[in-house]
Amino acid sequence: MDQTPTAPEIIAAEASTAVEQPLGRVPLLLNRRNFSWLTERISGVVEQPAPRWWWVTFTITAGIAAFGLFCMGYQISTGVGTWGLNHPVGWAWDITNFVFWIGIGHAGTLISAILYLLRQRWRTSINRSAEAMTLFAVMCAAIFPGIHVGRVWMAWYLAPLPNNYGIWQNFRSPLMWDVFAVSTYFTVSVLFWYTGLVPDLATLRDRARSKIKKFMFGIFALGWRGSNRNWRHYEMAYLLLAGLSTPLVLSVHSVVSFDFATSILPTWHSTIFPPYFVAGAIFGGFAMVLTLVLPARAMFKLHDIITPQHIDKMAKIILLTGSFVAYAYVMEFFISWYSGNAFERFAFWNRIFGPYWWYWWVGMLFCNCLSPQLFWFRWCRRNLYVVYFVCMCVNAGMWFERFIIIVGGLHRDFLPSAWGLFIPTWVDIWTFIGTLGIFTSLFLVFVRYLPMIAMSEVKIVVPEADAHYATAVEHHPVAPGGKERT
Amino acid sequence: MNNLRTPSGHRVYGMGAEYPSAAALYNAAKMVRDAGFKRWDVHSPFPIHGMDEAMGLGKSWLSGWVLFGGVSGLLTAALIEFGPSSFLYPLVVHGKPTNFMTVPAFFPIMFELTVLFGAFAAFFAWQIMNGLPRWHHPLFNWERFSRATNDGFFLIIEARDPRFTELEARDLLERSGGQHITIIHED
């Protein structure tokens, strides 16, 4: 009799559940996976023998990469004349590819740094592979300015050293800024990525069976023991690296855009370029993250770690940044009309109806502006085929966008007598395809030999990682309305 | 240094215990802190939020090194830019002056080197402040400890702690819920 709850108690109990339910969140890891499951599954990818599909894919991509390297060798030994560059188009596929690859890297740093500062815990499932993607994309990007100078053995002129006449670089040139921005970006990304890797390398070291593996992982794990006195400095370093990388990533594509914006060419000479380029870079980069992560997730059965919720969130970022990009396109047209400048107006008219018209209609309009709008619909964000289709559109669209900006500005400038067209040669085409091969091969090697998910970070989102975790917490994957919460 | 030895003649590094969960380790850390030990540490596969307070550790001043790195990067950039551009070989481009009035054009490189040097400072500081890299550590002599990077939670009291006695340490680790309590060899 004593234990029958009184009316006020029942009301209080109901009120507390009513308050708690809307706060329930979909867990970031499905099926209540524990720490050792995470270690097993993620390390297992590295420890098991390579699956057959891996060898098949790697053989193909490495072959493409090798032919790309041959094209670069041919171009270096013969000269830049092997490319289709000529008057008036002196920058074409080379710089398009450079901007394309640099842009892709930005999503990795956004995930690893900006989302870390914003305490977006879902980043832990994808940050490692996105950061690796950043490194490989920046490597591919660095190839193009290196080889397009023609005499690559003179590339040391880029370094702040006087040449043999004692002449120094022009430090007020955007091209010089670019050298510093890209090399800093690559170096800081490597430091950040390796810092994150150390605890996971220690996991692999402690699991390694063979002596040689224990030795190799042992060297790179630096003797990490997971000590809290170490975590304390480590976490501060990680936070500060994230804090340093955040303005860095925004600066890199801004500086790339200065290469164009500080010139006087119509369609290049534009103050909207830095934010427009940064938004475009994150947009294209997230599409590439999904392009790589979705197959890896399927092949290595990582569905409990990279959940529909993660894909949904990335799709929303693509929608957001894609809409920034679309807004920037509209604003460019408006300003060219509003400026009253005949050359500006012509350049944008030429963009839509000139010889490269279909690049604009297909690449910029359909791929970049329209296709991400599908992500307004939840069904589209949850359907992997739709997600993959949009990502492929964005990958292609962002390449077209850079081509339109660069070649579209150059091929018809102020004097109609100087107009011309750009026709790529097979070397142009295969050098670009070769970098796609290099990029994919490097990524395949990465997923094979290093943990592609940050184990020490993803374990933090397991509920038991909380120091105050006491009893089984009730989870509410289904919101009161009946829909799965996102 | 302590002179404790096991019956078989090994020097003693300390005493370790394993805990079933992060929450258990957190509570044990508070007990060891309150018992007044100084040379001790906890080991977990991931950083446990709130553990610094539970261990009585303050803020990491690694940030000081990063500030130092960032400032030296800024100064380096100013030196390598203004040295050549204003003094060694003033290069007149677009008819613009080469003096300090054109400083905005020098900002991007100043910014980049600030970030670069700051990042290097952070990278080396977290290793040096942690005494890393190191090739070996007595803790690796304990077989169970390999789970510290997987799903194990450990607390180690070092023998060089002035308060360390085998009985007191074992008693404290037992009372705090530690399992597999073990003496760890130095060599």
The 10s digit of each residue's pLDDT in A454-470 is 999 999 999 888 888 87
The per-residue pLDDT for range A5-58, each reduced to its tens digit, is 555 555 555 545 544 444 557 788 888 888 999 999 999 999 999 999 999 999
Is B37 in the A-facing interface, judged by CB distances under 8 Å? no
The alpha-carbon gap from A198 to the nearest alpha carbon of chain B, in Å, equals 11
On the question of pLDDT at B1 being above 70, the answer is: no
Contact map slice: A 266-305 vs B, CB within 8 A: none
ipTM score of the complex?
0.94
DSSP assignment of B110-174:
HHHHHHHHHHHHHHHHHHHHTT-S-S--GGGGSGGGGGGGTT-EEEEEETTSTT--HHHHHHHHH
Confidence of residue B8 (pLDDT cuts 50, 70, 90): confident
On the question of pLDDT at A476 being above 60, the answer is: no
Per-residue confidence (pLDDT) for residue B2, from 0 to 100: 62
Torsion A74-A76-A78-A82 (CA) sign: positive
* Separation CA A50–CA A293 (nearest Å): 18
The per-residue pLDDT for range A79-128, each reduced to its tens digit, is 999 999 988 999 999 999 999 999 999 988 988 899 999 999 999 999 99
The alpha-carbon gap from B34 to the nearest alpha carbon of chain A, in Å, equals 17
Q: Cα-Cα-Cα-Cα dihedral of A136, A142, A147, A148, to 10°? A: 120
Contact map slice: B 93-132 vs A, CB within 8 A: 93, 96, 102, 105-106, 108-109, 111-113, 115-116, 118-120, 122-123, 125-127, 129-130, 132
CA distances to A262, A270, A345, B68 from A336, in Å: 17, 10, 5, 46
Tokens representing residue A434 in the block = 């070769």
Per-residue confidence (pLDDT) for residue A133, from 0 to 100: 96
In chain B, which residues have their Cβ closer than 8 Å to the Cβ of A199?
A: 45-46, 149
Per-residue confidence (pLDDT) for residue A472, from 0 to 100: 45
A176: closest chain B residue by CA: B109
* Separation CA A32–CA A28 (nearest Å): 10
Interchain contact, B119 vs A467, CB within 8 Å? no
The per-residue pLDDT for range A293-325, each reduced to its tens digit, is 999 999 999 999 999 999 999 999 999 999 999
Average of per-residue pLDDT across A360-375: 96
The per-residue pLDDT for range B119-155, each reduced to its tens digit, is 999 999 999 999 989 888 999 999 999 999 999 999 9
Interchain contact, B115 vs A247, CB within 8 Å? yes
Interchain contact, A170 vs B150, CB within 8 Å? no
Is B67 in the A-facing interface, judged by CB distances under 8 Å? no
From the list A273, A269, A414, A411, the residue with the least C-alpha distance to A342 is A414
On the question of pLDDT at A477 being above 80, the answer is: no
Interchain contact, A180 vs B108, CB within 8 Å? yes
Interchain contact, B150 vs A240, CB within 8 Å? no
User: Cα A294–A244–A125 angle (5° rounding)?
Assistant: 20
Is A209 in the B-facing interface, judged by CB distances under 8 Å? no
In chain B, which residues have their Cβ closer than 8 Å to the Cβ of A180?
A: 108-109, 112-113
Contact residues for B94 (Cβ-Cβ < 8 A; gap 6+): none
Per-residue confidence (pLDDT) for residue B95, from 0 to 100: 83
pTM to 2 decimal places:
0.91
Average of per-residue pLDDT across B64-91: 93
